[in-house]
Amino acid sequence: MSTRIAFLKGHGTENDFVIVPDPENAVDLSPAAVAALCDRRAGIGGDGVLHVVRSAAHPEARRMAAEAEWFMDYRNGDGSIAEMCGNGVRVFARYLQHAGHASEGDLAIATRAGVKTVHVAKDGDVTVGMGRARLPEGDVTVSVGRHSWPARNVNMGNPHAVAFVDDLADAGDLLSPPPFSPAAAYPDGVNVEFVADRGPRHVAMRVHERGAGETRSCGTGACAVAVAAARRDGADPAVTGSPATYTVDVPGGTLVITERPDGEVEMTGPAVIVAEGEIDAEWLETAAG
């Protein structure tokens, strides 16, 4: 490993990431190394790491190399692997544009949840085709303290439990994963969204992301919230034949989510590169233990 490793810092509606460009998949990013990078006091700080690898160079992405040149090897802040990160895809696309690997317009990005189509607009917003939501059957309940709510089970390539509440403050501090039942519903854990209405087709949310805690934003979570809200509101596009668009306020900004009659979900929002520099490889090796 070289003594210096390039990195950038970026965010999408304040869901922030350490970006590690590594086209040939040469940097060993162990779970401990990722957790060290994401440490907000002893490291760079972030909700997760965007490991930028050519699809052909990564064993999990080679099958997608013909469709997408670049693979988003996403890691949660605790070092665990995640299937997908909606805000992360937008920031990943912004990095590719920043680095000269892509330009305005459409591009494809490989993820563990499949190939995602991304559109980089002139105004700076990035739109991501997030695929179709799956709605696993079965009742789910989430709890915070003495409060419990029924939750809609929505899978956007990763699992979500969406609970509609009267007041977002009822969700408490969200430092720990909110308990859910039945336990078998989410054997690998779940992202939990608490949602309050703000107006017609307009909601606000807070989220506990598995492996990261409460974050300022969650792109797949915002999509799950819009899908759940459309079912609650009788606006399921497959039934009405019309797209359902929701404005979703997150603590870090605003996302616009549209679900189309064919089931495709699109997310639009900002993505910003704020800094770049070098990681000391010796520090990273020591910090990773």
Q: Structurally, how many domains does the chain consist of?
A: 2
Could you tell me if residue 105 is inside a domain?
yes
Asked if the model's pLDDT at residue 79 lies above 70, the reply is yes
Please tell me the predicted confidence (pLDDT) of residue 267. 97
Give the pLDDT of residue 212. Answer: 87
- Please say if 38 is a catalytic residue: no
Is 46 marked as a binding-site residue?
no
- Spell out the residues 6+ positions from residue 204 whose beta carbon is closer than 8 angstroms to its own: 168, 195, 196, 198, 248, 249, 250
Q: Of 257, 265, 268, 271, nearest to 96 (Cα)? A: 271
Out of 5, 85, 151, 224, the active site residue is 85
Chain-centre distance of CA 58, in angstroms?
20
Residue among 37, 128, 218, 267 flagged as catalytic: 218
Cβ atoms within 10 A of the Cβ of 275, count? 10
Domain check: are 239 and 279 in the same one? no
Please give the full DSSP string across 229-284, using - where no structure is assigned.
HHHHTT--HHHHSS-EEEEEEETTEEEEEEE-TTSEEEEEE--EEEEEEEEEHHHH
* pLDDT, tens only, 191-226: 999 999 999 999 999 999 998 899 999 999 999 999
Give the domain CATH number at 283. Answer: 3.10.310.10
Are 190 and 257 part of one and the same domain? yes
153 is in an annotated binding site: no
**Mean pLDDT confidence for 106-132:** 93
C-beta of residue 141 within 8 angstroms of C-beta of residue 130: no
> Is 85 one of the catalytic residues?
yes
Going by pLDDT thresholds of 50, 70 and 90, the confidence category of residue 124 is confident
* Angular region, 263: left φ>0, alpha ψ -120 to 50, beta rest: left
256 and 275: one domain?
no
Average pLDDT, the chain: 95
Residues 84 and 37 in one domain: yes
d(CA 136, CA 152): 9
> Does 155 belong to an annotated binding site?
no
Query: Tell me: the pLDDT tens digits for 243-256?
Result: 999 999 999 999 99
Domain membership of residue 134 (yes or no) is no
Q: Is 281 a member of any domain?
A: yes
Q: Given this model, what pLDDT does residue 211 score? A: 85
Q: Are residues 85 and 156 in the same domain?
A: no
Q: Based on the domain organization, do 161 and 107 belong to the same domain?
A: no
Mark whether 241 and 283 lie in a shared domain. no
**Amino acid 239: pLDDT:** 97
Q: In this structure, are 151 and 248 located in the same domain?
A: yes
Distance from C-alpha of 227 to C-alpha of 68, rounded to nearest angstrom: 27
Query: Known binder of ligand: residue 25?
Result: no
If asked whether residues 220 and 257 sit together in one domain, one would say yes
Q: Are 103 and 115 in contact (CB under 8 A)?
A: no
CB-CB contact of 34 with 46 (8 Å): no
Q: 258 a known binding residue?
A: no
Give the pLDDT confidence score for residue 279 in this predicted structure: 96
Domain that holds residue 103: 4-125+271-287
Task: Tell whether 225 is covered by a domain.
Answer: yes
In angstroms, the Cα distances linking 241 to 121, 237, 266 are: 27, 5, 16
Output the furthest CA–CA distance in the chain (Å, rounded).
58
Could you tell me if 95 and 188 lie in one domain? no
Cα dihedral 130/265/245/235 (nearest 10): -150
In a domain, 130, yes or no: no
Q: Is 30 a domain residue?
A: yes
Angle CA(115)–CA(69)–CA(105) in degrees, nearest 5? Answer: 75
Q: Are residues 152 and 261 in the same domain?
A: yes
* Residue 135 in domain: no
Q: What is the pTM for the complete model shown?
A: 0.90
218 inside domain: yes
Q: Are residues 110 and 174 in the same domain?
A: no
Q: Is 137 flagged in the annotation as binding? A: no
Q: Is 209 annotated as a binding residue?
A: yes
What's the average model confidence in pLDDT over 53-61?
A: 98
